[in-house]
Amino acid sequence: MKPIVLGLSLFAICLFTYGEVRLVEKLGPATGINSPFGVAFDNKGNAYIAEFEGGRILKLDKEGKLQTFSGNGKKGYAGDGLSADKGVFNSMHNLAWASGNFLYISDTNNELVRKINCNNYRLSTLAGTPNKKGFSGDKGLAEEAKLNMPISISLTPDEKTLLIADIRNRRIRAINLKSGTIHTIAGNGKKGKPIDGKLTLEQPLMDPRAAVMDHEGNLFVVERNGHALRVIHPDGKIYTLAGTGKKGQRDGAALQATFNGPKHLCLDRKGRIVIADDNNHLIRLYDPKTKSVSTILGGKAKPQTTLNRPHGVSIAPDGSLWVCDSWNNRVLTLSNY
């Protein structure tokens, strides 16, 4: 079955131009979008948006046509083994696209990671047991494992592994997409501040909210209640990159900078890390070359706009930054920041 067309041809609204920096509203409240939390892009440049409260996955094509791709607008659990239009989700947080035409979904309150095979438009479960939270299954099949609020997902650059921020288990878990097995790659399950230079599997984490890996195998993690950005090197040792551990919104030297409940992150084309600093209503940027943190959207940043609990950040194929301005019910793009 094909996605449901909403009958809208959308025109992006340019909100601000400041030098070469350009801020555009791609989707706004007039489209009916409801609490967008995550965006992913397919190989053709189409965007897929997960709604937290709205319960839908929307598809925005390059011509500006908006469709309901999956989900019926209600919260619940249904649809495995059926066409994706029969899918029912519960508080989705974000999405990841694989080049084999698979869309992965963090179906958070169903305690699942789900998958839409876009070659045949079928929905299935990749990891977790429906509506059963817990911690189990490491080194076994992911579909038999238990998760506890799988909140954010991302693919490694080679697309061989799907990373899960299993937040209430205080672990980052990884699924081998060839074998279907799952294992823990960060965190020992306890809550606390990790010690720099120690093996991450022996260290606690402060509610890991999202993780992303670069081409060198470095794993970057934002901690919601740790108010920090950390890195795990390929040797398994963890270090703090930014944040003091206290709430705040200070820019500047990374280890003196402060965050307030950061919710998501992504790597841009320059190797910088973009952070959705949710409770500060800001988008922040960590630059590894200068080891500094700056604010690039929200607050006093130019171009100026007021954000309301931004939960998702993604880099589009053209290099622009897409921001899910979640409680303003809109999706923004920022170019040349």
Beta bridge partners of residue 208, listed in sequence order: 223
Whether residue 67 is found in the same domain as residue 2: yes
Q: Does pTM surpass 0.75? A: yes
- The pLDDT of residue 7: 40
Whether residue 137 is found in the same domain as residue 204: no
Whether residue 38 is found in the same domain as residue 144: yes
- The pLDDT of residue 13: 73
Asked whether residue 309 is assigned to any structural domain, the reply reads no
Whether residue 94 is found in the same domain as residue 156: yes
d(CA 175, CA 164): 8
Whether residue 11 is found in the same domain as residue 50: yes
Q: Note whether 64 and 50 are within 8 A (CB).
A: no
Last residue of some domain: 133, 165, 182? 182
Whether residue 16 is found in the same domain as residue 30: yes
Residue 42 structural domain: 1-182
Supply 294's token pair: 């700056």
pLDDT tens across the length of the chain (337 residues): 444 444 444 557 777 666 667 888 899 999 999 999 999 999 999 999 999 999 999 999 988 999 999 999 999 999 899 999 999 999 999 999 999 999 999 999 999 999 999 999 999 999 999 999 999 999 999 999 999 999 999 999 999 999 999 999 999 999 999 999 999 999 999 999 999 999 999 999 999 999 999 999 999 999 999 999 999 999 999 999 999 999 999 999 999 999 999 999 999 999 999 999 999 999 999 999 999 999 999 999 988 899 999 999 999 999 999 999 999 999 999 999 9
**Rg over CA atoms, the chain:** 19
Please measure the distance between the N-terminal and C-terminal CA atoms of the chain and give it in whole angstroms: 40
Coil, helix or strand for 142? helix
Burial track 73-96 (b if 16+ CB lie within 10 A, e otherwise): eebebebbeeebbbbbbbbbbbbb
Coil, helix or strand for 107? strand
The full DSSP string for 251-300 is: -EEGGG--BSS--EEEE-TTS-EEEEEGGGTEEEEEETTTTEEEEEESTT
d(CA 8, CA 213): 36
Q: Residue 293's domain is classified under what CATH number?
A: 2.40.10.500
Distance of CA 84 to the CA centre of its chain: 21
Number of domains forming the structure of the chain: 2
Residue 133 has φ and ψ, to the nearest 5°, of: -90, 155
Asked whether residue 215 is assigned to any structural domain, the reply reads yes
Asked whether residue 50 is assigned to any structural domain, the reply reads yes
Last residue of some domain: 166, 182, 198? 182
Residue 277 CB partners (closer than 8 Å, separation 6+) = 249, 259, 260, 261, 262, 263, 283, 284, 310
The angle at the Cα of 315, spanning 183 to 143, to the nearest 5 degrees, equals 25
Whether residue 3 is found in the same domain as residue 94: yes
d(CA 270, CA 123): 35
- The pLDDT of residue 281: 99
Asked whether residue 13 is assigned to any structural domain, the reply reads yes
- The pLDDT of residue 11: 53
- The pLDDT of residue 203: 99
- The pLDDT of residue 15: 72
Q: Note whether 330 and 27 are within 8 A (CB).
A: yes
Whether residue 130 is found in the same domain as residue 245: no
d(CA 268, CA 263): 17
Asked whether residue 288 is assigned to any structural domain, the reply reads yes
- Using the Cα atoms of residue 206, residue 219, residue 212 and residue 160 in order, give the sign of their dihedral: negative
Whether residue 259 is found in the same domain as residue 170: no
d(CA 244, CA 180): 37
Task: Name the DSSP class of 247.
Answer: B
Percent of residues in the chain assigned helix, strand, coil, to nearest 5:
10, 50, 45
- The pLDDT of residue 19: 60
Asked whether residue 86 is assigned to any structural domain, the reply reads yes
Supply 185's token pair: 């790659």
- The pLDDT of residue 303: 86
Asked whether residue 265 is assigned to any structural domain, the reply reads yes
Q: Note whether 170 and 207 are within 8 A (CB).
A: yes
d(CA 271, CA 273): 7
Asked whether residue 317 is assigned to any structural domain, the reply reads no
Using alpha carbons, select from 296, 174, 278, 291 the residue that is nearest to residue 225. Answer: 278
Whether residue 170 is found in the same domain as residue 261: no
d(CA 46, CA 49): 10
Tens-place pLDDT, residues 309-319: 999 999 999 99
Whether residue 55 is found in the same domain as residue 83: yes
Last residue of some domain: 128, 161, 182? 182
d(CA 161, CA 158): 8
Whether residue 75 is found in the same domain as residue 106: yes
Q: Note whether 294 and 249 are within 8 A (CB).
A: no
Coil, helix or strand for 158? coil
CA distances from 26 to 11, 44, 49, 55, 62 (A): 8, 17, 11, 20, 11
Amino acid letter for position 36: P
